[in-house]
A and B are shown apart, each in its own frame.
Chain A
Amino acid sequence: MLDPLIEPLEFAFMQRALIAACLAAVACAMVGAFVVLKGLAFMGDAVAHSSLTGMATAYALGGSILWGALAWVVPASLVITFVSRRANVMLDTSIGIIYASGFALGVIIIGQSSNYAVDLFGFLFGNVLGASWGDIYIVGGVAGVIAIVIFAFYKELIFTSYDSTMATVSGAPTRLIEYLIPLLIGVTTVVALQTVGIVLLLALLITPAATARVLARRFPAMMAAGVGFGLVSTITGLYLSYHLNLATGPAIALVSTGLFALALAFSPTGGLGLLRKRRV
């Protein structure tokens, strides 16, 4: 009876995919908690899209695509914050500029590259079945750094996200946090690139955290529940993709969305509250 669950794991590529996808789910859900509360979904989407430049450059030069993406997202996410602070434009304006220019540059580089990049399309929509151990080490290392940074700056991240004015008055390093959050988002996109790809990143970054937001009362529970929903989504999505022969990234994205819809429908407090008792 457990065969459908065990059988796929006999393949080494499925084992690797499962590990890579779970690492991505955990990192995304942790960072996603802040993204959802601060309303920074657009920033996540933009950094992911702009990372095409880094990936395309690395590919054209024959290097690792993940390292290329990482090398791009770090300066890109810092520039977004810097531009919005200095140029007196709204944050989402500077995000939009990076989004379009990074994606455009990436497409041009791909077009110029002589070896037409088939697996770059894997990075648009995810190709976690192709994850190598080398990829997993990078993804695992980056995810580990993300988790450590979040635990180290946990109270500053919460304080600044909740009330940055008061955080500044108390002497918290709000300037640092202001740059740290976009940086975390940027680096997280690298972790998730193989699992859901550039285009579907938000399905792992936003949706599990949003599901948790609907159900959880306090922040720690929200972050933990988000990790749980992220893991359930990726694991379920992977199995569905194996048995039904679906593309993995979209399968994960849709499972994640399904969980959100369920949470919305049956939330005891928020959402549509289908199970809530009606008050007369």
Chain B
Amino acid sequence: MAAVTELTGNAPALDVRDLWAGYNGPAVLKNVSFQAPRGKIIGIIGPNGAGKSTLFKTVLNLMKPWRGDALIFGKPIGLQRNLIGYMPQIELVDWNFPVSVMDVTLMGRYGNIGLFRRPSKEDRDAARESLERVDMGDLGDRLIRELSGGQRRRTLLARALTNHPKLLLLDEPMAGLDSALQHQFISILRSLRDAGTTVVLNTHDLSCVSAACDLSLCLNCSVVAYGSPKEVLVEEVLNRTFGAHLLMVHMDGQAYAYQHHSHQTGGKE
């Protein structure tokens, strides 16, 4: 933490400013502005098609925004790659590829090794340490196709951790995990946060946000609400965020939110 503060002043971990982005059709992101303060877990929630992944792609410079920008600790991402760890959606990775858990984790270091050079002992040590942080220390030799869903996610997380990032971007990290594995994953994220890492994650799962996040950003093309889960996960905001995708059921003075595509999620007064 101290190192970051010295390095980059007091800028927020992520500063998204008036971001507009889209593909060939209408804008997917409209006027999105928010700041992710340091040392918090921020959950971005919204229905499918709300622009969650597009937001990540734009922040990571994988696609150019139409307008606006995103600063990482006060500077453009090109200068700050080393401060970022990124975990892609699990479905976007080829799990049949003939590589071991250690091979994949080491890839997190490739960006810093440089062309024409092989990973050093230091790189291997960093990868091993990352695996230990996600409780995968003894699975380094395992082929990735032999892993369970929870282990696959932890492998990708370990890869994102190899450079000791100050900002972690996780794209749908909990999708498809059962609640025991979600809790395991959340406790890993909490320990990272407590060590000073800022975590920004995407999800369409309300329970994940209320259980794991310090701050919650409701996104549906533009920012609907941003604040603590308690303030934000209320019926009126959720209705505006999810629209027809969300079904609110009132029962015994509680409002339960159901998402159309999936199982029952969080409950709120």
Q: Which A residues are closer than 8 A to B by beta carbons?
A: 37, 152-153, 155-156, 158-159, 161-163, 165-173, 213, 216-219, 222
Q: A155-B118, A165-B62 are in contact. Are A170 and B108 (CB under 8 A)?
A: yes
Given contacts A37-B94, A172-B110, A217-B98, 11 further A-B contacts (CB under 8 A): A155-B113, A155-B119, A156-B110, A159-B107, A163-B93, A168-B62, A170-B107, A173-B115, A217-B100, A218-B99, A219-B97
Q: Within 8 Å of chain A (Cβ to Cβ): is B84?
A: yes
| Cβ contact within 8 Å between A219 and B99 | yes
| Cβ contact within 8 Å between B94 and A162 | yes
| Cβ contact within 8 Å between B94 and A172 | no
Q: A162-B107, A170-B81 are in contact. Are A216 and B62 (CB under 8 A)?
A: no
A-B contact pairs, 20 of them (CB 8 A): A152-B116, A153-B115, A155-B113, A158-B99, A162-B93, A162-B94, A162-B104, A162-B107, A163-B88, A163-B94, A165-B92, A169-B62, A170-B111, A213-B98, A216-B98, A217-B100, A217-B143, A218-B99, A219-B98, A222-B98
Q: Within 8 Å of chain A (Cβ to Cβ): is B226?
A: no
| Cβ contact within 8 Å between B60 and A167 | no
Q: Which B residues are closer than 8 A to A by beta carbons?
A: 60, 62, 81, 84, 86, 88, 92-94, 97-100, 103-104, 107-108, 110-111, 113, 115-116, 118-119, 143, 159
| Cβ contact within 8 Å between A218 and B111 | no
Cα–Cα, bound, A153→B110 (Å): 11
Q: Return chain B residues, CB-CB under 8 Å to A155.
A: 110, 113, 118-119
Q: Return chain A residues, CB-CB under 8 Å to B100.
A: 217-218
Partner of A218, one of B88, B98, B113, B119: B98
Q: Return chain B residues, CB-CB under 8 Å to A159.
A: 107, 110
Chain A: CB-nearest residue to B87:
A166
Looking at the assembled complex, report how far the CB atom of B223 sits from the nearest CB atom of chain A, in whole angstroms: 24
Cα–Cα, bound, A155→B62 (Å): 21
Chain A: CB-nearest residue to B57:
A165
Cα–Cα, bound, A156→B88 (Å): 18
Q: Return chain A residues, CB-CB under 8 Å to B113.
A: 155
Looking at the assembled complex, report how far the CB atom of A50 sits from the nearest CB atom of chain B, in whole angstroms: 28
Looking at the assembled complex, report how far the CB atom of A155 sits from the nearest CB atom of chain B, in whole angstroms: 6
